[in-house]
Homo-oligomer: A and B are copies of this chain.
Amino acid sequence: MKCNICGGAGHVRLPHFNLKVCDAHFLQLVERRVERAIQKFKMFDRASRVLVAVSGGKDSLSLWHALHRLGYAPDALFIRLGVTPEVERAQALVQKAAAALPGRLHVLDATSYFGGASVQEVARMLRRPVCAVCGLVRRYLMNKFACEHGYDVLATGHNMTDEATALLGNLLHWQDGYLQRQWPVLPKSHPRFAAKVKPLALNYEQDIKQYAVLRGIEHLEESCPFAAGATSRLYKRLLTELEQAQPGIIGAFYLGYIRRGKIQAEPVKLQDCQQCGYPTTIPVCAFCRLLEQFSRKRKVAFSSDSAEAQAS
């Protein structure tokens, strides 16, 4: 097998691009697609203060690496959502990655907002799905942290396969609001709403996986056990099956959506949460309501100003 670019020994097969490439050209291709996403969607520039949300998985750690290699200077944020061996393992991997990179790693303990309870415990106590509580807590704390520490932009590791999966789900249910907000960039629309970007949005998931392997980026292999029954898993499996039958369809689907331009919708009216002041569409934001419900159950008051919740 020959590299279609340099003619040297090729090792990586990319059916979705109808291409075979050598390791060096594969790595270049992935990083160029990261750069292209950053430029195309005007995500940030080399002077920007970028914070990458890292979980210990292949996507976020690859993103952190790739941004450094492309000449950006991102810091990273790891949020501890519990005190399980998985969390320790994830943190160890993130710290290992940090040791090899110049940027700073922040570690934020989400459990300190809940008197030491993990998101699983909070979810169980309030009889809510773990995925929903975890997502809510992570989104809130990432945004709060980015704003409080003066970052221009918060970057997450969503790849093109993730985005196509979300798009499929949003189209199957015609979720206009989500369809609109799914764009690879959400600008800073409020003083306490950090800009959000997805620089991996032009890269297939399998390519990011291969990138992590070739760059020697150690990462958690398994996906989150709580997401096992999630419908997004089903959508991703069906899209993957389609991709095998029609290589390139995930890209055609996602990029076709991008090419059509943002779906028009009424702009969402934001107000300041009466409790924490962060932007929300309702009087008290979902995070503060979660804290309230949890406080009532536990009969102890918890607040989003939790003095314990300090980044390391």
Contact = CB atoms under 8 A, between A and B. Distances in A.
A260 B172 contact: no
Copies in the complex: 2
Interface stretch (A149-157, A211-219, A244-252): A244-252
Contacts of A252: 172-174
A233 B241 CA distance: 13
A122 B260 CA distance: 38
A171 interface: yes
A234 interface: yes
A242 interface: yes
Interface residues of A, number: 18
Main secondary structure of the interface of A (DSSP, over half): helix
A238 B241 CA distance: 9
A252 B172 CA distance: 7
Interface string A165-197: 000000111100000000000000000000000
Contact of A174 (B238, B246, B257): B257
A260 B172 CA distance: 13
A299 interface: no
Given A172-B252, A173-B249, 19 more contacts: A171-B171, A172-B242, A172-B253, A173-B252, A173-B253, A173-B256, A174-B252, A174-B253, A174-B256, A174-B257, A174-B259, A174-B260, A231-B245, A231-B246, A234-B242, A234-B245, A238-B238, A238-B241, A238-B242
Interface of A: 171-174, 231, 234, 238, 241-242, 245-246, 249, 252-253, 256-257, 259-260
23 contacts: A171-B171, A171-B253, A172-B242, A172-B249, A172-B252, A172-B253, A173-B249, A173-B252, A173-B253, A173-B256, A174-B252, A174-B253, A174-B256, A174-B257, A174-B259, A174-B260, A231-B245, A231-B246, A234-B242, A234-B245, A238-B238, A238-B241, A238-B242
